[in-house]
Amino acid sequence: MISKILIANRGEIACRIIRTVKKLGLSSVAVYSNADANALHVSMADEAMHIGESMASASYLDFNKVIQAALATGADAIHPGYGFLSENAGFAKACSDNGLNFIGPPVGSIEAMGSKSAAKEIMQSAGVPLLSGYHGDNQDPDFLQQEAAKIGYPVLLKAAAGGGGKGMRIVESADVFHEALAAAQREATNAFGDQLMLVEKYLLKPRHIEIQVFCDQLGNGVYLNERDCSIQRRHQKIIEEAPAPGMSDSLREKMGKAALECAQAINYVGAGTVEFLLDASGDFYFMEMNTRLQVEHPVTEMITGFDLVEWQILVANGQHLPVQQTQVPLMGHAIEARIYAEDPEQEFLPQTGRLSFLATPAESDHVRIDTGVVQGDEISIYYDPMISKLIVWDKDRASALRRLTKALSEYHVAGVTTNISFLHTLSKSAGFSEADLDTSFIQTYSDVLFPSDNENVPLLLAAAALAQLTANQHASKTAASDPHSPWAQSNAWRMNEPNQQAVNLTLDLTEGSTEFHVEAEHTGGNVYLLHSELGTQKAHGTVIGDQISISLDGRSHTLTIARANKGNCASNNSASKKEAFTLFFDGASIQGHLTTPDIGSADETADGDGLQAPMNGKIVANLVEVGETVSIGTGLVVMEAMKMEHTIKAQADGKVLQFNFAQGDLVEGGASLLDFETSEG
């Protein structure tokens, strides 16, 4: 029987597994890289072993180091979590060879599903419906382009060994096929060490439905209802819910049985997920089977009441499943939102930085937070930028959706740009409320999800000004030997004149950083008349800690403010590192800083030509030659960061004068990648 489990993973999934291990009275062992020496999962485990450098390839992906850590600590089982080594057949075999219980499926099952092309052949033989496509070994680019033409554009290029949206490209026409293929192959090689690609017909508006299956070693198997994972960006899920809206009992049963047939075709054991595309007519097509626990497994736990990690351990011990198919409940509705350090306004570009402020909604029977970070932790370039998973549950979808919107409005992060505001807007959108779901949801509703106006700017400006006036008053009293002395006051008192003082603020609005000059006229107590570019506002309020209570023109509001320490701000702008702050209101956050007279005299290297590194990362390729004349939109440099590729494109017609970094070089965010001469006229 298993008594001590080493978790071969990091972050929120390692923490989540440790919680169940503790609940079962078992011992846990964490592993960590240099970057994770002070990580939450390390402190939660009973023991922890250092296994290498920060790069995943030198630590979490080096299964010899993981095996040695398990043997050294006396662990008798390894749980791989998801990602990293979770679907590595060689790792599963190494565990067995060293007498370690791999908490996952048999080696043969992993191998069968490890290649998407081989998996589709198996599923075709089992009678599971498939999309038309090419799944063979011939990888000649011209041949693959011919196959794409036979299938008919648009097509989807997918890494055969892939997952998580990496190594995937939608190709709309033949003229961009080779460029898309090369990019997908590079990304697949970096993520999985294998550039084998398959080509499939791309459905224009499908839903992404997946079935959670579970099988024991005694021949029993069940499906635990379904999840809708249609809300995606970069082919990666950000919202998942269970059950799928509009799913009929008959279709659920049909898809569930098909999923079990997939599992039985490869003699599966443990937790697995079979993913399907569902079209408007109710036809569904096999995509892939993930031979591991899924990121979104909590929504299944919330609607069934089952602990899937506990089930994994039971099955690994050779015990039978706790229930039969007829005993699987479906209770209420659950929704999961993935909180990422990323910038939705910049095509969801991953972000790095320190979590200088972190406040989460209170957990309860209705709200669950799976996370692996605490305030002060660093979101680095080495791993996925997920901060947490926010999961809500209630009796029905409408009630769960209200829970989600409320919880997102209470989730505050400063120090890095996140997708929280975007998720909050999405949760309130009519399209999501009405469950008009498909994998192109974000593109379809982009006008709603990326609003151009800032209707709360007057409130935000008033709150920021009030916070600064209060901070000035506090600083003045703190510095004075007698805080009750009139000289300790900073209310701009003048004999026979209005008590008026200036506050200069910059707010980072949707349309860009905007400076405001506020003349604050103190009229007594905590009441001010604020004169600015937006007109005159009467503001009354108090600031206690990080909470701002403000009444603006007779309407009361409560906001949260997080003040960043000097040099600990997400922005690279030196000005914003002085007196920087983040305001949170109604699910949105906005950064700003106090503008001082010397701001603007600092080195202003951000010339706006778009040729700076958008974040820390590595140069994958320089795409053109020095001296080459290019047109606007031409790809110039490919960067890789957080397992994804980003192409830096020319923002105007011109000539490349010099590349400042070579292939393989590590660069910091904001660094000038190349010298570029814009064409005249």
Q: Which residues are catalytic?
A: 292
By the 10 Å C-beta count (0-12 exposed, 13-18 middle, 19+ buried), 81 is classed as: buried
Residues 6+ apart with CB under 8 A from 348: 233, 234, 340, 342, 419
Report DSSP letters for 281-342, one per residue.
TS-EEEEEEE-S--TTHHHHHHHH---HHHHHHHHHTTPPPS--GGG----SEEEEEEEESE
Q: Are strands 221-233 and 236-242 parallel, antiparallel or unpaired?
A: antiparallel
Contact 514, 506 (CB under 8 A): yes
User: How far is the C-alpha of 157 from the C-alpha of 166, rounded, in Å?
Assistant: 10
Distance of CA 446 to the CA centre of its chain: 18
Residue 171: beta bridge partners?
155
User: How far is the C-alpha of 9 from the C-alpha of 85, rounded, in Å?
Assistant: 8
Distance of CA 669 to the CA centre of its chain: 19
Report the length, in residues, of the chain. 681
User: How far is the C-alpha of 334 from the C-alpha of 142, rounded, in Å?
Assistant: 46
Residue 654: beta bridge partners?
630, 678
| DSSP-derived secondary structure letter, 136 | S
Tokens of 190: 């970096």
Of 614, 544, 562, nearest in space to 415 by CA: 562
Q: Is the peptide bond before 129 cis (omega within 30 degrees of 0)?
A: no
User: How far is the C-alpha of 93 from the C-alpha of 205, rounded, in Å?
Assistant: 40
> Which SS3 state, helix, strand or coil, does residue 60 take?
coil
Of 129, 74, 121, nearest in space to 100 by CA: 74
Q: Is the peptide bond before 243 cis (omega within 30 degrees of 0)?
A: yes
User: How far is the C-alpha of 278 from the C-alpha of 104, rounded, in Å?
Assistant: 28
271-287: b (≥16 Cβ within 10 Å) or e: bbbbbbbbeeeeebbbb
What are the φ/ψ torsions at residue 22 (nearest 5 degrees)? Answer: -65, -40
CA atoms lying within 13 Å on the CB side of residue 445: 24
User: How far is the C-alpha of 511 from the C-alpha of 649, rounded, in Å?
Assistant: 21
CA atoms lying within 13 Å on the CB side of residue 39: 29
| DSSP-derived secondary structure letter, 525 | T
Tokens of 2: 């298993």
Of 16, 218, 7, nearest in space to 102 by CA: 7
Please name the amino acid found at residue 266.
I
Please name the amino acid found at residue 251.
L
User: How far is the C-alpha of 499 from the C-alpha of 491, rounded, in Å?
Assistant: 6
Please name the amino acid found at residue 150.
K
> Which SS3 state, helix, strand or coil, does residue 418 take?
coil
Using only C-alpha atoms, what is the Rg of the chain? 27
Left, alpha or beta for 89 (phi > 0: left; psi -120 to 50: alpha)? alpha
Count of CB atoms situated within 10 Å of the CB of 588: 18
Contact 145, 174 (CB under 8 A): yes
